[in-house]
Amino acid sequence: NAGVTQTPKFRILKIGQSMTLQCTQDMNHNYMYWYRQDPGMGLKLIYYSVGAGITDKGEVPNGYNVSRSTTEDFPLRLELAAPSQTSVYFCASSLRDTNTEAFFGQGTRLTVV
């Protein structure tokens, strides 16, 4: 089992460029999440999905988009990158049951210059 896999691990973007952060999981989890982690700020939820075809906004969705066409994949799209989007991005997944923990990917460190 690979768990949750994120690509790329690192990326530098110029202001105004766009990119897609990839996330895939092989645990057949219904729920998937995207978080950003800024120093000293903990994890902020960007978007989440409770199943294929269903997505919803989290705390900080502005500047991002997601899609969930399959159970396994949950890509995060950044359009018109801004310096405020410099952060470490984590994808996570969990079972539908509320008493279960989330499994995290290794993260993508994104710098916008």
Partner 1 sequence: AQSVTQLDSQVPVFEEAPVELRCNYSSSVSVYLFWYVQYPNQGLQLLLKYLSGSTLVKGINGFEAEFNKSQTSFHLRKPSVHISDTAEYFCAVKGTNAGKSTFGDGTTLTVKP
Residue type, 29: H
CA distance 46 to 66: 9
- Footprint of partner 1 on 53-82 (CB under 8 A): 58
**Any contact of residue 5 with partner 1 (CB under 8 A)?**
no
CA distance 25 to 36: 18
Among 15, 17, 53, 96, binds partner 1 (CB under 8 A): 96
Instruction: Quote the least distance from Cβ 45 to partner 1, whole Å.
Output: 7
Residue type, 107: G
Of 14 and 39, the one with the shorter C-beta distance to partner 1 is 39
Q: Please, what sign has the CA dihedral across residues 25, 27, 32, 34?
A: negative
CA distance 22 to 78: 11
Instruction: Quote the least distance from Cβ 44 to partner 1, whole Å.
Output: 8
β partners of residue 93: 32, 103
**Any contact of residue 101 with partner 1 (CB under 8 A)?**
yes
**Any contact of residue 40 with partner 1 (CB under 8 A)?**
yes
**Any contact of residue 33 with partner 1 (CB under 8 A)?**
yes
Among 19, 27, 52, 102, binds partner 1 (CB under 8 A): 102
